[in-house]
Amino acid sequence: MTAKRRTKLTLDEIKSELAEVARVGQMFIDGDACRNVYTPESQTFMRGDDLNYDAEVTVPIKKDLFRLERLSRVPCSATLWRQRPDVPESGEALLFGMHGSPEGATKPSNRGYEPPEMTRELKRVFLEGKTAWKTRRNPPRAQKLIERGCSQPAKEVDSNKTIQYFVPIMDSMGEVAAALEVFTVATG
């Protein structure tokens, strides 16, 4: 059995596919639920042993991420990010879809944890409520994503590029509750 070759797309076509997945995610991911993925005592965790998920809330959101990843003709993955309530200048991964974000996202060990500072794109989402694109040539995690099938052949690319799209997920009060990142690697 031979693997089906995918048609090369332009970067604009790839971005269009990612934007559509993100648009659907904005409609279906429950922002209020995103605020409650962690149990109340875990909201400000600082060690791995302190991190507990509320399964009744988390499992449906995780399933939503998996469904979103299958919507596009471009193999992609999704990550939900949160702004820490105790350290508002930090943004950390809340839930991963099939693959970890190209941004990297370390979960705490028991040796202590320093919440990461928000990236420029996460600041745009959380502080301004706007969307943000990020494209990087040959980022460190790109090869792993390619090996795992999260890549799309592209017409205008001479080396691997991650294409990431960040959008706000709103809660019932109209406030940004989380950021949805949809991404792929464009291969040359």
Domain ranges of the chain: 11-187
CATH level 2 (architecture), domain 11-187: 2-Layer Sandwich (3.30)
pLDDT value for 108: 64
Q: Which DSSP helix (H) or strand (E) runs through 74? A: none
**Amino acid (1-letter code) at residue 170:** M
- State the Cα–Cα distance between residues 124 and 176, nearest whole angstrom: 11
pLDDT tens string for the chain (188 positions)? 444 567 999 999 999 999 999 999 999 999 999 999 999 988 888 776 777 899 999 999 999 999 999 999 999 999 999 999 999 999 999 999 999 888 876 666 656 678 889 999 999 999 999 999 999 997 788 889 999 999 999 998 888 999 999 999 999 999 999 999 999 999 98
> CA dihedral defined by 21, 23, 29, 30, rounded to 10 degrees?
180
- State the Cα–Cα distance between residues 18 and 78, nearest whole angstrom: 10
- State the Cα–Cα distance between residues 80 and 5, nearest whole angstrom: 30
pLDDT value for 6: 76
- State the Cα–Cα distance between residues 61 and 34, nearest whole angstrom: 8
- State the Cα–Cα distance between residues 181 and 150, nearest whole angstrom: 14
